Amino acid sequence: MTDEKAKKIALVTGASRGFGAAVAEELAARGWHVIAVARTSGALEELDDRITARGGTATLVPIDITEDEALQGMCLSIYKRWGHVDLLVHCAIHASPLSPAGHVPESDLDKSLAINIRATQRIIAMVEPLLKAVEGGLAVLPVDREVVGRKFFAAYGFSKAAQQAIWDSWAAETKVIGPRVTTFAPRAMPTATRGRFFPGEDRDALTPTRDEAVRFIESLDQPAEAG
């Protein structure tokens, strides 16, 4: 096995900011090679600077995850270079603006469907073979149960619930044959998305994203069930 194919590979979507960026940075600091996926090249480059400063390594993939051709190209490149993915952390999400259920713009519904639901299923389909190519492959979805059924969260809440339903089905299907599929519920963090959802909230009372990223990484070796 070449040095490249022997590396521990973590694929992190939504890695340009928030929890995804914190997870990518902390994994890289612990010796993982991180494949960081996001649409924003500038934010990915800033992440890479922080990773490099801490002695880690990353491959930046500035793509739109709703585009199948881009996902296919990424997965093919991963296979050719490393042959596998040890860890998938699917943090990419579209957070629609708050709106009464009867007034959600069609464009927000369509974008939520495309990013939070359809892209999740396509990522499962394309990354699963890479996870199964190594012993102990693991896929994790950060979940946000706080918003499901909450007033004004119709677009975001329904798509997060549907996303987790897809993920939980995948977990049940792979329980015996692998890869291991589970979820992680971060504590409330002072992210930009939460700032839009809860303006005026005391952000000092929230858990820093780095602390939650560390807690997440420490949980990786613990048995867990999705749901």
pLDDT > 70? residue 224:
no
* Interval 162-212: pLDDT, tens: 999 999 999 999 999 999 999 999 999 999 999 999 999 999 999 999 999
Pick from 46, 59, 212: nearest CA to 144: 212
| pLDDT for res 221 | 75
> Could you give the domains of the chain?
3-218 (3.40.50.720)
* Segment 75-81 mean pLDDT: 98
Contacts of 70 (CB under 8 A, 6+ apart): 63, 64
46 token code pair: 């800033």
* Segment 40-58 mean pLDDT: 97
The sign of the CA dihedral 95, 92, 193, 148 is positive
Residue-wise burial string across 58-72, b where 16 or more C-beta atoms lie within 10 A, e elsewhere: bbbbbbebbeeeebe
Beta partners for 34?
A: 10, 58
> Higher-confidence residue: 6 or 47?
47
| pLDDT for res 1 | 45
Beta partners for 163?
A: none
**Hey, what amino acid is at 17?**
R
H or E segment and range at residue 17:
none
